[in-house]
Amino acid sequence: MIVPMGHVFILAGIIFSMGLVCLVARRNLIMTLIGVEVMMNGAAIAFLGASLRWRLMEGQAFMLFILAVAAAEVAVGLTLVVNVYRRTGSLDPDHYDILKW
């Protein structure tokens, strides 16, 4: 016996909301990406808790795909951040106004 399933989901929910707050509040693009990573972490914990609850390996398989998508997402996102930093010299999204005229 480990813990009630609700506790696993509440832990996942707290982690997900922390990532959401980080994503919305921070004005640094790196911290925004970190917020997305934290949110994916929370989703992965929920998937594994459900996988253990119903004794199905599908949840673990989905967790593996979440991992793969997170890796691809952070690589592309960091490349975009580096590119936009080269163009504007800033990491603050408010300074990105090249497309304005």
Residue type, 55: R
Contact 91, 80 (CB under 8 A): no
Query: φ, ψ for residue 16 (rounded to 5)?
Result: -60, -45
Number of residues engaging other proteins in binding (CB under 8 A): 70
Q: Which residues contact 13 (CB under 8 A, 6 or more apart)?
A: 42, 46
Least distance (Å) between residue 57 CB and other proteins: 5
Is residue 96 close enough to count as binding other proteins by CB under 8 A?
no
**Applying CB under 8 A, which residues contact other proteins?**
1-11, 13-22, 24-28, 30-31, 33-35, 37-38, 41, 44-45, 48-49, 51-53, 55, 57, 60-61, 63-65, 67-72, 74-76, 78-83, 85-87, 89, 91-92, 98
